[in-house]
Structure 1
Amino acid sequence: MKKASTEKRLFAYAFQFKRGIIIGIICLIIATTLELAGPLIAKQVIDEHILGIEGAWHEVTNEDKNTVNYDGKQLKRADRLTDGEQTLGAHTVLQVGKSYYFVDEKVPLQGKRTIEDGTLQIKSADGTERFQAEKMKMSEIYSFFKPEQRAIFFLLGLYMVLLVIAGFFQFYQTFLLQKSSNQIVQKMRNDIFAHTQRIPITYFVDQPAGKIVARITNDTEAIRDLYERVLSIVLTSAIYMAGIFVALFILDAKLALICLLVIPLIIGWMKVYKFFGTKYNKVIRSTVSEINGNINEAIQGMPIIQAFRREAKTKEEFEVLNERHFTFQRKLVKLSALTSYNLVTVFRNLAFVAFIWYFGSSSLELSSVISIGMLYAIVDYLTRLFEPVTDIVNQLPLIEQARVAGSRVFELMDRDGEAVENEEINKYRGNIKFDHVSFAYNDEDYVLNDISFEVKAGQTAAFAGHTGSGKSSIMNLLFRFYDPQKGSITIDGYPTEEWSRQQVRSHMGIVLQDPFLFSGTIVSNVTMNDPSIDRERAIQALKAVGADRFIEKLPNKYDEKVTEGGSTFSLGERQLISFARALAFDPAILILDEATANIDTETEAIIQRALEVLKKGRTTLVIAHRLSTIQQADVIFVLEHGTIKERGNHVQLLEEKGMYYQMYQMQQGKAQRAV
């Protein structure tokens, strides 16, 4: 089935937290509406109140809050008259230049005005008219403004209140949208980390750890930026632009239609950026993963690098990756420089050219006029229009980077995984049977060929053979890290494939050749933070395997800090802690993968005593190079090239004088020469 696009899948993740996002968007719309009311209020203040004194005034008989006393007359603005109010005559107040003039009759307000020797001349499309005008003093002008002060203060106060309310909604929209962003990425990280535990182990064999870490951390962090930017900046900008266009349509529909050309320009711009940005970001994100893998490998292998004087070669390999990252990052910077603030500036200047042309050409007609308040409001909205455009454009690099990161994350999540099923099963006794099992890691080159054997519950079985004979592959199959291509594996008569991988392993324990300890304490490394294993049980397990001999000498004893990998402890000490870990979990089947291969002879005696405690009452499978460590095994299987060549106990195999005998003699000879 065809997978949905990255954008749709990112949207689907966001949709899971739609409640917070929707409430945040509602808060955003309210905040934007309240904030964009500013220019409209300013237009009202300028046109209706500050410049509103210019126009027709009527003499009235009754005095109220809207009347002005001038030259012994009670005057009221024409638009302030009430229905049926009696008037005694019409007058006009006009501004010419910086001065105001009073005319004792009603005169036209449109047209070009000039004043000369007390005569007002108004030139319009209908002709030129002349009127006697009286220049007003500053104190007289002030009296005409006085009735408007209350309305001006009210509107300014209203705007301040709206800004405070808008600030409240702005806070909540930012908080809710960013909270939702973090919730989305938190869920995504949990999902991808959980999915890595469902992916078959074959995937991790071919993938450097640093690459997988980069997808879970770096790529999801880039996606977090996407959600934060899209939900808080791009979404805000889009709604802000929509509000501005609504306001522009209210003021002048024709100009608003011209400004709508910005939308296809932005869309085309984003498509161009997406085309080139995707190519560059894919290389950049892939290179970042490789750099992480390279650094991770270099840190883990630093002792070998320094021992073999490979510092220069390692640095050279890193510089190749770093140079590639730098090259494509530079290309991305060039792309951003070409399609960022500079281009927005060009668009803004073109918009203002269109604005000047639109109103400039109109002004050539004597019959047309635009108020100062209208001019102010339109210029303010045009200025504001390009702020969100700039914000959107500035986010394009992050958006494209996150989109590519998202495709990488979903690529990992699309890998076939298996459900993690931890439902409890009854503890099995530990009867193991391999029935004509054949297995290949790559479905072609078989490392096990027609293997059949049986181990009874409570027995100790050992597997011997040269490197590559298939010993570890048998353990991988039993642990269900892999499944065989042919044959079947049963425990107590139940095929392992009928249980989930987790259920199969629930009653198994393993001790590796090089045991791994996790950051924490000695006790936490035994309990593995499993609530079913308490502190006392962990300490008893440590004492049972003899680890208390060195632990009691430590400053913090059982609470001694353990660094990653347990590098502050010797190999023997780490091995004893891992034995205690296996003992505390009380497995029915215990696998010892060359647990004594790297232990010195003196420590081996302690380890062997611990092993006897560990093997008691459970089925034990041992992989060993040292044949001296498996002489007490109930049955020994000798492997060669993926087949079982010999089987029997130590004495029987020596009597056969076959492969086991030769291997034993070889090791005995080496031991004697060493002595």
Structure 2
Amino acid sequence: MRDINQEEVLGKAYDSKLMARLLSYAKPYWTWLLTCILVVVIIAGIDLAGPYLIKIAIDDYINVYDKPIEVYHQAPENKSAILFEDRYYVIQKNMEAVNQSSSMEIAQLIKYGQDIFLIDGYVDLQSSEFEIVETNGEFILDLKNEDRSFHGRKLTLEEIQSFRKEDVLSIRKIAFIYFLLVIIGFLLNYAQTYLLNYTSNKIVLNIRQELFTHLEGMSLSFFDKNPVGRLVTRVTNDTETLQEMYSQVLITMFKDLFILLGVVIIMVRMNVQLALLSFIVIPLILLATAIFRIKIREIYREVRIKLAQINSTLNENFTGMKTVHIFKREKQQAQQFDTFNREYLEANKKEIFIFSIFRPSMEVLKSMGIAIIIWYGGGNVIRGSLQFGVLVAFIDYIKQFFQPINDLTEKYNILQSAMASSERIFALLDKEADIENPDHPVQIESLQGTIEFKNVWFAYNHEDWVLKNINFKINAGESVAFVGATGAGKSSIINLMNRFYDIQKGEILIDGINIKDIPLSTLRKNIGVVLQDVFMFTGTIKDNILLNNTEISTEKMKEIAQYVNAHNFIEKLPNQYDEPVMERGSTLSSGQRQLLAFARALATDPSILVLDEATSNIDTETEELIQDAVVKLIQGRTSIAIAHRLSTIQNCNKIMVLHKGQLREMGSHQELLEMEGIYYKLYQLQYKESL
């Protein structure tokens, strides 16, 4: 039994060679991906601009009560001034910004209680104690710790609105810009998400198509060694994992990095000390992330293994449902599935537990960073050495700083899965086909049908010979049958003629040409095979006859179906040739499937026809139709039959008897009976069983 764990072993989280190869598939779409990168840079810029706009609104247009105001009697040049009572006021950030060399007047807005006062002069509100008193209708600001006072006036609501008119307009502009950026960000996010997912799906479509085409070209020996379920997983699940990598990691990682870099630069430029203090939590973040990556890698691998067990169990039970019902194993199989299902649940609970610790721990660290900012930055705001808007912006930026870290940590799993999936996919793509077209093929359109085996030795595994030194010749137009016990090598001869496998010794000739020198398409087009177990594809009757061969017209298809006696039962179906065929042709009888197989084989008008006991397990009426179809099919063609019932091959020109991989007898039916050898014993055995 296959070890389920084998295919779920995870490799390195990042492999530069694998990544370079994955990026090569993205090369045809580099303009789209570059556009996505540019868009995410713009989106990152928009995300970073939001807190900064709020900072500007607070510091420059809302919180103006502790700032010096330059007063001009004429409109100053190159300065944005507020016109109030025939004077021009210019608000500065601090006293250092005021031009000390000029003889301009300095004023200040002060909020005292619920009132706003315009003071002629500047007072450091953070370090001074003061009170405003009214004397004879005039307001005086007295400093308690200094022997100074300033004249002022109380502003009415209308005067405040007039004085702050420009501030209100500026705040509205900032609000509009902020809202506009949100809308632009939404549209860009939509466009980027759509374009990126479209591009990633196109890339994965190409990978999936290349993988499927490559697998179709592999020999049957490859499929003998590789379970179909595993190959289906490669083409579906593994390529889907790559789609997640292209859409969620490849480009969006740029945004996370830009956000991190942008936050660091902006925070350092706004206030170096506060920024460095905020970065104290970074070592704790790195430690928590490293622990998370180690733990989640182990749990993730366990989850994948348990999921593989569930898929394997489902596949076995659904495929073998008939056997389950026959032996009444429903309860036992349900218990087995319940065991795997609960193990999968427990593995998922472990994964949830790890995430439930990691994500809150990131929130704790984020809160710690915010607490540090409030503690240190809030004190500086009170002391007047830090603007309040800067503090608000720092809190927003520290939140943005943690989001990419969470994203990058979770994308680690996707990247790890993508590396494992790509390694398995590329291992298949790098595996060369055992059966390849000749480098210098013999160009022929059709074959006459003369077949010759010369000293042919063949083994499926090393030197465990299935055929040993086989020599025979079949002339064009002859009908030949191969008989022998199970495992004698009958089916192997058919497989070798079609080059499903290559021989180790000797040569196989058709019309005197080594089949290794004939193009595979030409060879297989000229050999029609009707197997005992007919495989039907999901689709329609028409689809299963033509097999996507567009060169055959509908009229020709119906003519062929009528020729092999399939037309009658098809006409009785509700949709006739468009009747849906379920998986493996489960809605059709064995005889109907056999007749469709004859029509399918005849569609390409082959020179050689191979029949693998076409009448086994068929009712008498259908057998007569099939026998009539066989007689028509073999006319003018070289026909080879693998016989299980000797009564069906007595009229063949030659009968070849295989025994333990060797050709032991050859001749007509009567000649072989007279020899009283292996064929004679087989005939006597079947004859006795029929009595």
Q: Distance in 2 between matches of 1:151 and 1:4?
A: 51
Q: Tell me if structure 2 keeps the 8 A contact 1:54–1:92.
A: yes
Contact 1:590–1:618 (8 Å) recurs in 2? yes
CA distance in 2, matches of 1:499, 1:113: 104
Question: Is 2:68 the partner of 1:50?
Answer: no
TM-superposition CA deviations, 1:541-562 (whole Å, max 9, x none):
1000111222222222222222
Query: 1:499 & 1:130 partners in 2: Cα distance?
Result: 110
| Structure 1 residue aligned with 2:553 | 534
Residues 58 and 399 of structure 1, relative CA distance in 2, 3 Å threshold: closer
| Paired position in structure 2 for 1:336 | 355
Cα distance between partner residues in 2 of 1:248 and 1:40: 10
Return the match for 2:25 from 13, 36, 52.
Answer: 13
Which of 16, 24, 33 is 2:45 aligned to? 33
**Aligned residue number for residue 366 of structure 2:** 348
In 2, the alpha carbon distance for the partners of 1:346 and 1:523 equals 65
Q: Deviations over 1:393-448 (max 9, x none)?
A: 44444444444444443444444436876998522222212111122222132111
**Aligned partner of 1:385: which letter?**
F
Is 354-363 or 466-475 further displaced after alignment?
354-363
- Picking from 654, 662, 667, the partner of 1:635 is 654
> Does 2:497 correspond to 1:488?
no
In the alignment, does 2:393 pair up with 1:377? yes
Structural mapping, 1:79-90, within 5 Å: 79=92, 89-90=105-106
For the residue of structure 1 that corresponds to 2:506, the secondary structure is strand
Compare 77-86 and 304-313 and name the one that shifted more. 77-86
- Counterpart CA distance in 2 for 1:18 and 1:262 is 38
Give 3-state SS (helix, strand or coil) of 2:164's partner: helix
Give the direction of change, closer, same or farther, for the CA distance of 1:57–1:454 in structure 2 (3 Å limit): same
Alpha-carbon spacing, 1:79–1:353, altered in 2? closer, same or farther (3 Å): closer
Q: Distance in 2 between matches of 1:664 and 1:477?
A: 27
1:92 deviation in Å?
2.9
Residue in structure 2 matching 1:61, options 73, 78, 99:
73
The answer to whether the 8 Å contact 2:613/2:643 transfers is yes
CA contact (8 A) 1:214 1:289 kept: no
Which of 303, 314, 317 is the equivalent residue of 2:322? 303
Q: Which residue of 1 aligns with 2:34?
A: 22
Letter in 1 for 2:205: Q
Query: In 2 relative to 1, CA 218–205 (structure 1 residues): closer, same or farther, beyond 3 Å?
Result: same
Q: 1:662 to 1:372 in 2, by over 3 A?
A: same
Structure 1, 570-579 or 407-416: larger mean CA deviation: 407-416
Equivalent residues of 2:435, 2:501 under 8 A apart = no
Distance 2:26 2:101 in 1: 62
Q: Distance in 1 between matches of 2:286 and 2:433?
A: 38
Task: Point out the more displaced range, 14-23 or 97-106.
Answer: 97-106
Q: Which runs of 5+ in 1 are unaligned?
A: none
Equivalent residue, structure 2, for 1:510? 529
- 2:575 counterpart of 1:556: yes
| 2:377 corresponds to | 359
Shift of 1:283: 4.4
Residue aligned with 1:484, SS: coil
Which amino acid counterpart does residue 74 of structure 1 have in structure 2? R
**Do the aligned partners of residues 326 and 88 (structure 1) sit closer, same or farther apart at CA in structure 2, a change above 3 Å counting?**
closer
After TM superposition, give the deviation of residue 481 of structure 1 in Å.
Answer: 1.8
Task: Give the Cα–Cα distance (whole angstroms) in 1 for the partners of residues 381 and 67 of structure 2.
Answer: 20
Give 1:119 deviation, angstroms. 4.5
**Structure 1 residues 487 and 13: CA distance shift in structure 2, 3 A:** same
TM superposition shift of 1:622: 0.9
Take 2:416 and 2:610, find their aligned partners in 1: how far apart are those partners? 49
- Please state if 1:104 is matched with 2:111: no
- Identify if the C-alpha distance between structure 1 residues 524 and 474 changes in structure 2 by more than 3 Å, giving closer, same or farther: same
Shift of 1:91: 3.0
Distance across 1 between alignment mates of 2:281 and 2:247:
24
Output the TM-score relative to the length of structure 2.
Answer: 0.86
TM-score, normalised relative to structure 1: 0.88
The corresponding residue for 1:76 is 89
Q: Is the 8 A contact 1:214 1:292 kept in 2?
A: no
Contact kept, 8 Å, 1:174 with 1:232, in 2: the verdict is no
Whole-angstrom CA distance in 2 between matches of 1:11 and 1:262: 35
1:241 to 254, 260, 285: 260
Q: How far apart, CA to CA, are the structure 2 residues paired with 1:317 and 1:9?
A: 41
Is the 2:253–2:408 contact (alpha carbons within 8 Å) kept by the matching residues of 1?
yes
**Paired letter, 1:594:** E
Alignment of 1:98-497 (within 5 A): 99-108=115-124, 111-115=127-131, 119-121=141-143, 130-132=148-150, 134=152, 136-139=154-157, 140-231=159-250, 233-259=252-278, 271-339=290-358, 341-359=359-377, 369-417=385-433, 425-497=444-516
Q: RMSD in angstroms over aligned alpha carbons?
A: 3.3
Query: Would you say the 8 A contact 1:541–1:580 is kept in 2?
Result: yes
Which deviates the most, 550-559 or 317-326?
Answer: 317-326
Q: What is the identity, as a one-letter code, of the residue corresponding to 2:389? A: G
Indicate the residue corresponding to 1:591 in structure 2. Answer: 610
**Residues 309/164 of structure 1: CA separation in 2 closer, same or farther (3 Å cut):** closer
Residues in 2 aligned to 1:349 and 1:515: alpha-carbon distance in whole angstroms: 67
Whether the 8 Å contact between 2:64 and 2:109 is mirrored in structure 1 is no
Q: Which amino acid aligns with 1:136?
A: K
CA contact (8 A) 1:513 1:598 kept: no
Any unmatched runs of 5+ in structure 2? 1-11, 134-139
Residue 660 (structure 1) aligned with residue 679 (structure 2): yes
Give the Cα separation in 2 of the matches to 1:355 and 1:145: 30
Paired with 2:75 and 2:304, the residues of 1 have a C-alpha distance of 77
Aligned partners of 2:74 and 2:88 also within 8 Å: no
Offset at residue 27 of structure 1 (A): 1.1
Q: Which amino acid aligns with 2:173?
A: F
CA 1:90–1:84 in structure 2 vs 1: closer, same or farther (change >3 Å)?
closer
Counterpart amino acid of residue 186 in structure 1: L
Deviation at 1:583, TM superposition (A): 0.6
Q: Provide the rounded CA distance (Å) in 1 between the counterparts of 2:512 and 2:155.
A: 112
Q: Secondary structure at the match of 2:502?
A: coil
SS in 2 for 1:17: helix
The CA deviation at 1:644 is 0.8
Cα deviation for residue 653 of structure 1 reads 0.8
Does residue 525 of the first structure (1) align with residue 544 of the second (2)? yes
**Contact conserved, 2:480 with 2:639, CA < 8 A, in 1?**
yes
Q: Which amino acid aligns with 2:81?
A: N
Distance apart, 1:53 and its partner CA: 5.5
One-letter code aligned to 2:223: F
- Separation in 2, partners of 1:629, 1:523: 30
> What is the rounded CA distance, in whole Å, between the counterparts of 2:298 and 2:24 in structure 1?
24
What is the letter of the counterpart of residue 67 of structure 2?
Answer: G
Q: CA deviation at 1:162?
A: 3.1
**Contact conserved, 1:59 with 1:74, CA < 8 A, in 2?**
yes
The 3 A distance-change label for structure 1 pair 666 and 193 is: same
Q: Deviations over 1:458-502 (max 9, x none)?
A: 211110001111111111212222112222222222222234544
Contact (CA 8 Å) 1:517, 1:565: kept in 2 or not?
yes
Tell me which amino acid in the other structure corresponds to 2:39: C
More off after superposition, 518-527 vs 316-325: 316-325
Q: Aligned to 1:435, what secondary structure does the other structure show?
A: strand
Taking every aligned residue pair, what percent have the same amino acid on both sides?
A: 34
